[in-house]
Amino acid sequence: MHKKDVDAPFRRLILMEDVDPRFAELISVELNIPPEFWIAHCSERFRLRVLNDMLQEEGRSTYWKAPVPQTRQGPYPMAIQPNCVELGSFDRVSTRMNPEIPIFYFNSLVSFWGQKHKNGWTVAILVDPHKSRLRLIREQNSDPLSQSPSLPFNSQPRVDLSDFTWQGNSRALPSRPDAPVPELLHSCVLYDVLVKAYDGKWGAMSHHGDPFDATTVVRNLIFSIWNNSTSDYSNAMLDGWNLKEDLWNSAGFIRVLEQLRKSTVFNFDEFHYKAMSSDLRLIAHQKQSLRELKRSLLASNPGEVDQIPSASAIDNAQNEVAGSCAQVEFETRRWLRIDETLKATEDVLRQIMESFSRRAELQNSFYSHQQAQAADRQARSAGQLTKIATVAVPMSVASAVFSMGGEFAIGERLFAVYWAVSAPVTALLILWLIFSDSISKQWENFQKKLTLGFKKHFPIAWKKKEGDATGQ
């Protein structure tokens, strides 16, 4: 809290990292902050709208809440299951991209509350703490056929996630050689960075008449983290999928893929299609968070659309409104770049998924054609065996009759005649069944050659034959 002289405008900024419920109650009473401010900070999905006496929604100078992308790394690989990240008194929903790598993506929150006084304003900024713990959630009763009511969720032992992860190849350099090297955006502690920044810049910011202007450092930090996280994540995602595209198109990998397709344990196509769908869902979540951030951060103040009643304050009010509009325009332009980056990444991923789907359809149709050919060969073999059995069974009966002695002794004298007839016929039948396809093709080729030769040597007779066929 920064104090001013009695005669000077009373302007103060209170920066908080996590709060105890009792302390939040005390701050609310002293600074007239509604309890909904703290409740809204508990969940990213909770949307708070502040209305004035005229039932107009207050804008960016009164309240806004901004999600900030964060990554944490666990100490060991963990199975994918429902989980949440504990940030002090608050829980944040996390997502994972790879089951083998314990990297968790989630959004921490920064909440702003501004209140104007007669001779100044008060700004309260609440940020999530750096220390984080992963709580793995497991449902005790997951049997859908069970008649007993589902038991509540229980938690496994918590895992510390305070270690940052390295994203991309980003570097941070100071603007002046004598300035200290800034912390990397992917591994900065929000509260510490903001405290250092405000200690050096508070004197210039405290002269602004709008509480929103006091959040310039906070907004710059939020944008820098979003820009760094989005660029690194998009580049890493596209580089990874482009590498996989090159791998899929290689001849050696196609042979490996055919071996994987024959295995019933692992479905390579389904695995990577689900991975791409997971990437698209994460991008959609980030786009939704970005829309909510811009809606809250760029909301118009009621004074910007109302007429100014006091003629003596027109110049000051117009200057203040013009400055606020310029800041909003600047914020809109720079946040649009992040939105375009996410949209471009989403479009590229959808194109990769479409090409992957087309390739999978072609491969599936090829394998279906191979299976149909194999089934046709099996059916043909079964038909050939049936034909062989149709000929062999009667001949076996005749052989048994002719080879009998005693009462049917006539068969013994004519047995040589039976073999002289049945053996060649059986051999010819077997050869025809085995080579029937090639015999049919050879016969078709012979007919074509015969037709071409007839047309070449007897053209008149061929035309007459065609004319007779047309007349009929």
Q: Which residues pair with 154 in a beta bridge?
A: 138
Contact 93, 84 (CB under 8 A): yes
Give the closest residue to 208 by CA, choosing from 63, 11, 1, 58. 11
**CB-based burial of residue 254 (10 Å sphere; 0-12 exposed, 13-18 middle, 19+ buried)?**
exposed
Looking at residue 396, its pLDDT comes to 66
**What is the secondary structure of 347-388 as a DSSP string?**
HHHHHHHHHHHHHHHHHHHHHHHHHHHHHHHHHHHHHHHHHH
Q: Is 91 helix (H, G, I), strand (E, B) or coil?
A: strand
C-alpha 67: how far from its chain's center?
19
Q: Do the bridges between strand 120-127 and strand 10-17 make them parallel or antiparallel, or are there none, so unpaired?
A: parallel
- Distance in angstroms (rounded) separating the CA atoms of residues 310 and 323: 19
Helices 436-457 and 459-471: crossing angle, nearest 10°? Answer: 110
Looking at residue 158, its pLDDT comes to 59
Degrees (nearest 5) of the Cα angle 468, 470, 472?
70
- Distance in angstroms (rounded) separating the CA atoms of residues 63 and 44: 15
Q: Which residues pair with 116 in a beta bridge?
A: 121
Q: Which residues pair with 105 in a beta bridge?
A: 71, 95
- Distance in angstroms (rounded) separating the CA atoms of residues 145 and 130: 42
* β strands within 83-194, DSSP E: 83-87, 90-96, 103-116, 120-127, 132-139, 153-155, 159-160
Looking at residue 375, its pLDDT comes to 81
- Distance in angstroms (rounded) separating the CA atoms of residues 106 and 104: 7
Looking at residue 210, its pLDDT comes to 83
Label residue 56 left, alpha or beta by phi (over 0 means left) and psi (-120 to 50 means alpha): beta
Looking at residue 114, its pLDDT comes to 92
pTM score: 0.64
Q: In this structure, how many other beta carbons lie within 10 angstroms of the beta carbon of residue 101?
A: 13
- Distance in angstroms (rounded) separating the CA atoms of residues 270 and 277: 10
Looking at residue 245, its pLDDT comes to 65
Largest CA distance in the chain: 142
| Regions of the chain short of the pLDDT cut 70 | 1-9, 75-82, 96-101, 137-187, 202-207, 243-273, 303-325, 384-385, 387-419, 421-422, 462, 464-472
